[in-house]
Amino acid sequence: MSRTIAEKRAAFRALHESGCFMLPNPWDVGSARYLASLGFKALATTSSGYAWSTGHADNHVTRDVVLAHLRDIVNATDLPVNADFESGFGATPEEVTHSVALAVQTGVAGLSIEDSTGDESAPLMPIDIAVERMKAARRAIDANGGDTLLIGRAENFVVGNTDIDDAIARLKAYSDAGADCLYAPGIKTREQIEAVVKAVTPKPVNLLIGDVSDFTLNDVAALGVRRISVGGGLARAAWSGVMRAAQGLAEGRFDGFANAAAGNELNGIFSKQSG
């Protein structure tokens, strides 16, 4: 029996109360349904993975296209979905409020707002501006029932600013501004992770592991992290297979199909997923 949006959101919030769960990132309906078939408890969209699937670079897809994508992923499975909503799709806090309200209406169970600008000369928003945008997102969620989780993202390490103290100061400010969960993509060491968890406790922390890592789920759980996402990692892995096979074709070879999934296997998976 299909869960309602309210039930999905309640289940998602409960996942953040204890333990640590894997939050994989599909980039289309097919990848979402496959991940659901493996028993994951929730999914998260990936701005990069989806952008590449449309032939665009990350952060170069319009708000309306992203909103349609969120609806597709929410409707693809019975799992709660966390939205990668980039920096909020608005030049002002008022515009962020409007955009976040539209995102909440797609049925997502969680929504992240980041503080990057896309400007290489000044890649991070001033913290006071970022805080006002986080408050704007909080207002939009509260005005639409308040049950969608708000995730505050400090993009320091993504844009090359590896000042952990600044990242933590931002996360604490976003927590105070109403973020329910905190996220500093790019932190990798045990010391960095422990510092972030300690700084924002008791609020949950998301950890990005999008590449090969020595950490296991149990290791991360022991550090106090509540959830692990992989960002564009799965999409990059899929693109890697396509690129190797296609480059082989361009050279007149077919060995790139050696490890390809069988069509019957895929049909079987999606026959069950589509009912």
Residue 242 lies in a domain: no
Residue 239 lies in a domain: no
202 prior amide bond cis, ω within 30: yes
Residues in the chain, total:
275
Contact by Cβ (8 Å): 29, 77: no
Residue 187 lies in a domain: yes
| DSSP element (H, E) containing 81 | strand 81-84
Residue 274 lies in a domain: no
Residue 35 lies in a domain: yes
pLDDT at position 274:
57
CATH of the domain at 130: 3.20.20.60
Residue 215 lies in a domain: yes
Domain that holds residue 197: 5-233
Number of domains observed in the structure of the chain: 1
Residue 273 lies in a domain: no
Residue 197 lies in a domain: yes
pLDDT at position 1:
55
Please give the chain's pLDDT, 275 residues, in tens: 589 999 999 999 999 999 999 999 999 999 999 999 999 999 999 999 999 999 999 999 999 999 999 999 999 999 999 999 999 999 999 999 999 999 999 999 999 999 999 999 999 999 999 999 999 999 999 999 999 999 999 999 999 999 999 999 999 999 999 999 999 999 999 999 999 999 999 999 999 999 999 999 999 999 999 999 999 999 999 999 999 999 999 999 999 999 999 999 999 999 987 54
Q: Provide φ and ψ at 106, rounded to 5°.
A: -75, -15
